[in-house]
Amino acid sequence: MRRFDYSFAVRAPLSAVARFHHDTRMIKRLTPPPILVQLHKVEPMAEGSVSEFSMWFGPLPIRWVAVHSNVDPQHGFTDTQARGPLKYWRHTHGFRAIDSHTTRVSEHIEYEHHGGLRGLFSHVFFSRPGLWALFFYRQLVTRRALESGR
Quick: pLDDT tens for 62-99.
999 999 999 999 999 999 999 999 999 999 999 999 99
- Count Cβ atoms below 10 Å from residue 148 Cβ, excluding itself: 9
Question: Closest Cα partner for 100 from 3, 4, 12, 38?
Answer: 12
Q: Residue 20: which H helix or E strand, with range?
A: helix 14-22
Whole-Å CA distances, 71 to 18, 47, 57, 74, 82: 11, 6, 29, 9, 17
Percent of the chain with pLDDT over 90: 87
**What pLDDT was estimated at residue 96?**
98
Question: pTM to 2 decimals?
Answer: 0.93
- Count Cβ atoms below 10 Å from residue 86 Cβ, excluding itself: 21
**What pLDDT was estimated at residue 58?**
87
- Domains of the chain, CATH where assigned: 2-30+70-147 (3.30.530.20)
Question: Closest Cα partner for 125 from 29, 30, 60?
Answer: 60
**What pLDDT was estimated at residue 130?**
92
Is 87 in a helix, a strand, or coil? coil
**What pLDDT was estimated at residue 124?**
84
Output the CA torsion sign for 124, 129, 131, 136. negative
Residue 27 has pLDDT above 80, yes or no: yes
**What pLDDT was estimated at residue 6?**
98
pLDDT in tens, 104-125: 999 999 999 999 988 888 898 8
Percent of the chain with pLDDT over 70: 99
